[in-house]
Amino acid sequence: MTAVSSTPLQLPRFVRIVVIAGPPTAALVTLVCAGAGLIPALPAMAAAAALTAAVGTTRLVRLALRIHARVHSFGPCRGAGYLGLGVLATGLSVVLLPFAPPDAREPITTVGLAFAAVLSVIGLLLLPGAATTTHARLRRVFDGASLGISIAFAVWLLPPNGGMPPSALAAALIGSFGLATATVIVLRVVSYRRAAWLCGSGVGLAIGGVGALAIILAYQAPAWVLLIAAAPVVVSPALVLAGAARTESGVEPAPVGEPESHLSAYPLLTIPAAVATLAAAWHLITVGEFDRTSIVLGLSVIPTVVAREVFAVSDVRRYAKRLSTQEAHFRSLVSGAGDLTMVVGEDLRVAWQSPAAARLFGLSDADVVGRPFPDLMHPEDADDVLSVLNQVLADKDGGEGARPALVPARLRDGHGTWRDTESTVSDQRGIPEVAALVVHIRDVGERRHLERTLHKLAFTDQLTGLANRRELMRTIATQRSVEGHTGALLVIDLHGLAGVNDNRGREVGDAVLIEVGRRLRATVGSDDVAARLAGDEFAVVTVEGPVVAYALGTRLLTALTEPYLLPGATVHIYVSVGLAELAGGDGVDDVLRRADLARRRAGQLGRNRIEWYDAYLEEQLVRRMDLERELPGAASRGELDLVYQPVLGLHDGQPVGAEALLRWRSPALGTVLPSELLPVAEDLGVIGEIGQWVLQQSCRQLASWDPRLWLSVNVSPIELAAPDFVSQVAATLVTNRLAPERLVIEIAEGRVGADTPTVVTQLAGLRALGVRTALDDFGAAQASLAHLRRLPIDILKVDRALVGEQGTRQNGGIAKPLIDVVVSVGRRLGMEIIAEGLESGAQIEQARAAGCQLGQGFALAHPAPAERFEAFLAERLTQPN
């Protein structure tokens, strides 16, 4: 049926009510006045009918023209037009009564009733939602005809006298046909039902009223009875107009699942037979025989029922053919589809599977049908599948526009292989033909394989097989998002790999990296993630707390520093590890920054170390970066300075020499001591430049002092190992006209290290020049007496750690302090002993008691610039005899 697509201009509600309800109200008032005797009955009826029919016909015709002019929709347009003509025929059948002779009034009413019934039925059939095909319309007509004839047959047989006037019978037949057909049409409307009910009510009142007038005129009833029969006639146009106007408002979709063939057979086919049978039985019991008219009426029901059944059978065949075509189409679709379809009942058992099961998964009906659907899935996925199915079953509104649930799971195919699948579960319990869950299963194995491959390419280091930087950052973010989670990040730096690449080639370097990855995987826990950041940098994200993570870092140091035994080569590398907690910092990048700072600090403090990040460490690193930025060029800018700490005789307090101590007077950083300055200078490669400045400045200053004084200068192993160091010292002595014995070259005992042969060679060269040598800080760390025998040393400077010893308990008594042992050994080796770091009178007494002749420290004199040191000398140094 054609529907109107645009919205007409709507009058205000009050105005529309007055326009529709005004004429019938006035007509009813007229009829009431006639009943009261104020107006003659027939003229009152004619006037009332003329008013409502004229208004109704005019508005219905205008509505039909407006619909046609706007959208050219012939269905609603012609329906409203025929209804208007039916209203006109109804009105004329009443309007003509006062002007016709008495014997012509009954035929006029009957003829008007016939026209009104035919036109109104046509109008109802053409309304939206009534019937869309010619077969449907004819079926409605025959249904109404059979029902009408049956009612007329019953009416004919029920009077006790066994009949009625022929004119009354004709009116009864026509009225029954019209009323029955209108009722059938209204009951079978699939859309615009309210409009159909209004129009059907109006048509029923009109046909019933006119039919009643015809029968009343046939029986010559009183005038007041005519007025009662005329009341429905004058009201009907308003109802018809109200219903027809509703079809102009727009498209109203038909209810889903309710075709036009609804109520096509039973009970409507049984109603005519039941009515006729009951009436015939009653007549046979009361009268005992049927007249000719009764027989004709009874037999007239048969052709209408047969004709109606012929159309019904035709529709059923056509519908069955359409269903067969749709079923064949459905089977071809599900057989050739890329998805497997299963129907699962509320007991979660598979009731049906599509023929594609054998082609896609090698599954037969015997393998699947009747089994619980979760049992078909992998045991690890079955609980999730069951949970989703129960959730769909529990959702009572799941079938009304709900999005199908998606279930990823592994399905065992007919060959026993687990296949990656995705299933969509649709709740179709609301559809009677299905009444179950429909599951569409798709094989996503290739897609999952591609996803895993892409994931491996995107988040895996291709050389080592470890996670890459992106995967590491994602893992850190994931673990940080877990509330209350404690974990740590370890950043690992390999030292010496660049030399392996340069000396042995990239292939050997790559082999080392691969072995590093293997050792990392073997050392970390199953829940930890090892990653390669870049080049020779690796990282591990562990779920453990910082203490356990520190222990893991220690194990990693042990594992990664073991020799790498490769074909044709054995490689040794060194490792620095930095550790930071995942919970700290402002984000993932900050966690990585903190761990990297700790790693850098570990590298600065030495090799094969692990450092734990804290705020103080960051301050040190910032300080270190400031030193590295400012130190280059400090000597040329005149920022370096020397202070001198006197060395005094412990028995007479006379100065015998001094130690030159370096100070960096940085405008940006303030005064920087050698303990902080020298490691940075060594890392930056400027230690030689600074050492040369210290040596020249010290010798220049020493040349201006009393010849009895000597001056010691500290050098690092890197300076000492320089091939031209001895020649530089010699040149400096010559330039400043210094006696070689007045210069003392010091090297710290803890920094001699493994390069002892080079140190011995250089110290021997200095002694050959006449320059004395000293071993500084003896006993500050792990003092080795072997150094005293191997190194060509003239002066042994004992660290304050030994001077501060008050003796150790041994067998209930007090043993001698260790300084006594060192002094004894040093004297036997021919060394001069200096006790350094003396900060109290007790330490001075202890050193003196041990046999030390010389000492230095804050208790004796503080380091001072050259001017103050010279003043100290002038005050303390006695003139020679």
Name the pLDDT band for 8 (thresholds 50, 70, 90).
very low
Is pLDDT above 80 for 6? Answer: no
Is pLDDT above 90 for 823? Answer: no
> 315-371, pLDDT tens digit by residue?
777 777 877 777 777 676 666 667 888 899 888 899 888 888 888 888 888 888 999
Burial of residue 372 (CB within 10 Å: 0-12, 13-18, 19+) is middle
Cβ atoms 12, 81 nearer than 8 A: no
**What does the block give as tokens for 249?**
């408002």
At 252 the pLDDT is 52
Q: Where are the alpha helices (DSSP H) in 746-863?
A: 756-769, 785-790, 800-803, 818-828, 841-850
Residues with Cβ within 8 Å of 540's Cβ and at least 6 positions away in sequence, in order, are 489, 490, 492, 520, 524, 528, 529, 530, 531, 552, 556
Is pLDDT above 90 for 211? Answer: no
* Bridging pattern class, strands 854-856 and 832-836: parallel
Nearest Cα neighbor of 56 from 84, 95, 90 is 84
Q: Say which residue, 587 or 784, is predicted with more confidence.
A: 587
Is pLDDT above 70 for 16? Answer: no
Cβ atoms 171, 155 nearer than 8 A: no
DSSP assignment string, 377-391:
B-HHHHHHHHHHHHH
Mean pLDDT calculated for residue range 227-238: 81
Name the pLDDT band for 821 (thresholds 50, 70, 90).
confident
At 319 the pLDDT is 74
At 140 the pLDDT is 75
Chain centroid to CA 648:
77
At 264 the pLDDT is 45
Residue 285: C-alpha distances to residues 280, 281, 787 (Å) = 8, 6, 146
Cα–Cα distance for residue pair 778/102, rounded to 1 Å: 152
What H or E segment, with its residue span, contains residue 633? Answer: none
Residue 6 three-state SS: coil
> 482-539, pLDDT tens digit by residue?
877 778 999 999 998 888 888 888 888 899 999 999 999 999 988 899 999 988 899 9
At 180 the pLDDT is 78
Cβ atoms 238, 48 nearer than 8 A: no
Name the pLDDT band for 73 (thresholds 50, 70, 90).
low
At 551 the pLDDT is 92
CA-angle at 176, arms to 170 and 180, nearest 5°:
155
Nearest Cα neighbor of 312 from 373, 367, 269 is 269
565: left (phi over 0), alpha (psi -120 to 50) or beta: beta
Is pLDDT above 80 for 119? Answer: yes
At 519 the pLDDT is 94
At 142 the pLDDT is 73
DSSP strands (E only) in 686-788: 710-714, 743-748, 772-778
Residue 84: C-alpha distances to residues 3, 58, 66, 125, 492 (Å) = 19, 7, 14, 14, 95
CB-based burial, 403-427: b 16+ in 10 Å, e otherwise: ebbebebbbbbeeeeebbbbbebbb
Taking each continuous run of H as one helix and of E as one strand, the counts in the chain are: 30, 23
pTM for this entry: 0.47
Burial of residue 593 (CB within 10 Å: 0-12, 13-18, 19+) is middle
Is pLDDT above 70 for 753? Answer: no
Residues with Cβ within 8 Å of 642's Cβ and at least 6 positions away in sequence, in order, are 660, 661, 662, 663, 694, 697, 698, 701, 865, 866
Residue 747 three-state SS: strand
Phi/psi for 750 (5° steps) reads -75, -10
Beta bridge partners of 810: 813
Give every strand in the sheet of 488-495, ordered side by side. 529-534, 537-542, 488-495, 574-581, 609-612
Residue 759 three-state SS: helix
> 685-735, pLDDT tens digit by residue?
888 899 999 999 999 999 999 899 999 999 988 888 888 999 999 999 999
User: Which range, 96-100, 428-432, 617-621, 668-672, has the best average confidence (pLDDT)?
Assistant: 668-672
User: Which range, 239-253, 400-414, 569-583, 785-799, has the best average confidence (pLDDT)?
Assistant: 569-583
Name the pLDDT band for 258 (thresholds 50, 70, 90).
very low
Cβ atoms 253, 67 nearer than 8 A: no
Taking residue 678's Cβ as centre, other Cβ atoms within 10 Å add up to 21
At 571 the pLDDT is 87
> 838-874, pLDDT tens digit by residue?
988 888 888 888 889 999 999 999 999 999 999 998 8
Q: Where are the alpha helices (DSSP H) in 96-192?
A: 102-126, 134-157, 166-187
Cα–Cα distance for residue pair 177/169, rounded to 1 Å: 12
Cβ atoms 850, 811 nearer than 8 A: no
Residue 437 three-state SS: strand
The most distant pair of C-alpha atoms in the chain lies apart, rounded to whole Å, by 181
Cβ atoms 200, 186 nearer than 8 A: yes
Mean pLDDT calculated for residue range 70-89: 70
Phi/psi for 639 (5° steps) reads -90, -10
Taking residue 161's Cβ as centre, other Cβ atoms within 10 Å add up to 6
At 711 the pLDDT is 94
CB-based burial, 285-304: b 16+ in 10 Å, e otherwise: eeeeebeebbeebbebbeeb
Residues with Cβ within 8 Å of 724's Cβ and at least 6 positions away in sequence, in order, are none
Is pLDDT above 90 for 121? Answer: no
Cβ atoms 494, 573 nearer than 8 A: yes
- As a whole number of Å, the end-to-end CA separation of the chain is 140
Cβ atoms 67, 4 nearer than 8 A: yes
Name the pLDDT band for 182 (thresholds 50, 70, 90).
confident
Chain centroid to CA 780:
60
Q: Which amino acid is at 389?
A: L
CB-based burial, 483-511: b 16+ in 10 Å, e otherwise: eeebbbbbbbbbeebeebbeebeeebbeb
* Bridging pattern class, strands 772-778 and 640-649: unpaired
3-state helix, strand, coil in the chain (%, to 5): 55, 15, 30
Q: Say which residue, 195 or 784, is predicted with more confidence.
A: 195
Residue 514 three-state SS: helix
Cα–Cα distance for residue pair 540/559, rounded to 1 Å: 14
Cβ atoms 1, 189 nearer than 8 A: no
Q: Say which residue, 881 or 672, is predicted with more confidence.
A: 672
Q: Say which residue, 637 or 170, is predicted with more confidence.
A: 637
The overall average pLDDT reported for the chain is: 80
Cβ atoms 51, 27 nearer than 8 A: yes
Cα–Cα distance for residue pair 341/344, rounded to 1 Å: 10
**What does the block give as tokens for 339?**
């998805």
Chain centroid to CA 574:
43
Considering the chain, what percentage of its residues have pLDDT values greater than 90? 16
Beta bridge partners of 574: 495
Report cis status (omega within 30 of 0) of the bond before 267. Answer: yes
